[in-house]
Structure 1
Amino acid sequence: MKPLYSGLFLIFSIIYLALLPFDSMAISWLIKILPIITLAVAVVGSADFSGKTLLLLALAFSACGDVLLQLDYFVPGVGAFLLAQLHYGVFFVRNWSSVTTRWPISVLLLIYMLVMAFLLTPHLGDLVVPVFAYLVVIGFMGFLATQSNMPLLWAVLGAFVFILSDSFIAIDRFLRPLPFSDYLIMVTYYGAQWMIIHGALKKFKSA
């Protein structure tokens, strides 16, 4: 990714993190999605490659999810991010390598997702279906990333950091409050999005 886009992404991310204590501002949702918009502009400005549209759709649904969660529409927000993960997953399928690629990592990922499901199940109540649907989709996205030919740095690592960010959300909402949860969630979320996009553009030498 060009240094200009990475620099703008970092600046916008820091601005949002600095304003987190004032997230009741009317324009908080706009500030929140500026880093994602920056990544989308970087993808649009890159040379054409297979899966470019998928990345743009993943970022678009991510931005929708950000806005919905900011406005406290949890289930619609989860739905938007589910669609984002589906598009990331299809992107990784487009760059499939083999089921034997990095298989130890895939095994560890499966164990992690099963543990998360086991811990969350007693606390989900009426949200069990949407949360489990999201767990399955994001876990599968991580598996597809692992088995793809995308570089571990940064695309595959980004997929795992995305899972970590969503794990923080689930733990904080359903299990126990996490200290500095907003910062944990947003730092890992922004980092994950940058890693995936940067890794993809670097792979195709598109920016």
Structure 2
Amino acid sequence: MGQSSTLGARDNAWIYALFAVCAVLAIIGSLLAGGDHSGWRWLHYLTKPTATVLLLIAVLRNIGSSFRGYGMAIVVGLAFAAAGDFFLMLPGDYFLAGLICFLLTHCTYIWALTRDSRFGADKRIFVLFAAIGLIVIAGLWTSLPSAMRIPVVIYALALAAMAAQAISRDRQLAAVAPQKSAARSAAFGGLFFMVSDTLLAYGRFRWNIPYNAVWVLGTYYTAQWLFARSTEGNAHAR
């Protein structure tokens, strides 16, 4: 696994470098954008989904003939995420459409994370993340429009389940398992995704968070990069 993971990272080094550039430009464009026709806004429009698509390409390049399930699920999740990026960055109110796209991302990630481990095996972790999800929902509840309450509850619980499964899977796999370091990447990816989406929700519905794009997009792109890198050590996963 160590050799194949190193080769995968080396082969995709230029893609990850382009991804990093696009991610930074997307954050800068979001911070500096003014009107809808601002050049900075168009920079954000161009680079935000492009960064996610670059990760999708990197994962496709990692997938060998003996490994399809985990990697293809991550590819599908990244495709839904790119669509979600598109909806969330538009000037109109397409938040629900973006929410649905990212809900599908988390569902496909959960499917990926159950290819080599049982769902909900570590019940203590699931109870903990369910509690965190409910706390997040409770903090948002009075600030949410009534039409958004049920969608946000469904999304928050799916997000918590994805993060919990990522950590549960990491704990299930033996330290010597070929995909152990990849599982650790996915576990941290789940955590960063929870932080990103929590900041996004609170910044949209409850608080005015200074430099919100830095924290939301920074943690989001870190999460997606970790999930992309988690495919490099799963050559033996089914």
Q: Same fold (TM over 0.5)?
A: yes
Matched-pair contact (CA < 8 Å) for 2:126–2:161: no
Which deviates more, 158-167 or 44-53? Answer: 44-53
Aligned to 1:85: 106
Deviation of the 1:200 alpha carbon: 2.6
Q: 1:128 to 1:6 in 2, by over 3 A?
A: same
What's the secondary structure of 1:120's corresponding residue?
A: helix
Q: Per-residue CA shift, 1:68-94, capped at 9, x if unaligned? A: 011141111101111111111111111
Q: Per-residue CA shift, 1:91-150, capped at 9, x if unaligned? A: 11113157455x554443222112112212222222101111111111111122122246
Give the Cα separation in 2 of the matches to 1:104 and 1:129.
25
Under a length normalisation based on structure 2, what TM-score does the superposition of the two structures give?
A: 0.78
Structure 1: where are the runs of 5+ without partners?
A: none
Aligned to 1:61: 80
Give the Cα separation in 1 of the matches to 2:231 and 2:210.
33
Under a length normalisation based on structure 1, what TM-score does the superposition of the two structures give?
A: 0.89
Question: After the TM superposition, which residues 152-171 of structure 1 pair with which residues of structure 2 at under 5 Å, given as runs?
Answer: 153-171=184-202
Q: 1:40 to 1:126 in 2, by over 3 A?
A: same
Letter in 2 for 1:66: D
Match of 2:131 among 77, 97, 111: 111
Which deviates more, 25-34 or 63-72? Answer: 25-34
Question: After the TM superposition, which residues 127-142 of structure 1 pair with which residues of structure 2 at under 5 Å, given as runs?
Answer: 127-142=148-163
Superposed CA RMSD: 2.2
Aligned to 2:57: 41
Give the Cα separation in 2 of the matches to 1:121 and 1:57.
31
* Total equivalences in the alignment: 205
Give the Cα separation in 1 of the matches to 2:84 and 2:134.
25
Letter in 1 for 2:100: G
Q: Per-residue CA shift, 1:172-200, capped at 9, x if unaligned? A: 11221111111110000000000111123
What's the secondary structure of 2:62's corresponding residue?
A: coil
Match of 2:143 among 105, 123, 126: 123
Match of 2:224 among 183, 193, 196: 193
Give the Cα separation in 1 of the matches to 2:119 and 2:110.
15
What's the secondary structure of 2:117's corresponding residue?
A: coil
Structure 2: where are the runs of 5+ without partners?
A: 1-8, 174-179
Larger radius of gyration: 2
What's the secondary structure of 2:63's corresponding residue?
A: coil
What is the identity percentage for the equivalent residue pairs of Structure 1 and Structure 2?
24
Say whether 1:51 aligns with 2:70.
yes
Matched-pair contact (CA < 8 Å) for 1:106–1:146: no
Deviation of the 1:154 alpha carbon: 1.3
Match of 1:9 among 19, 39, 49: 19
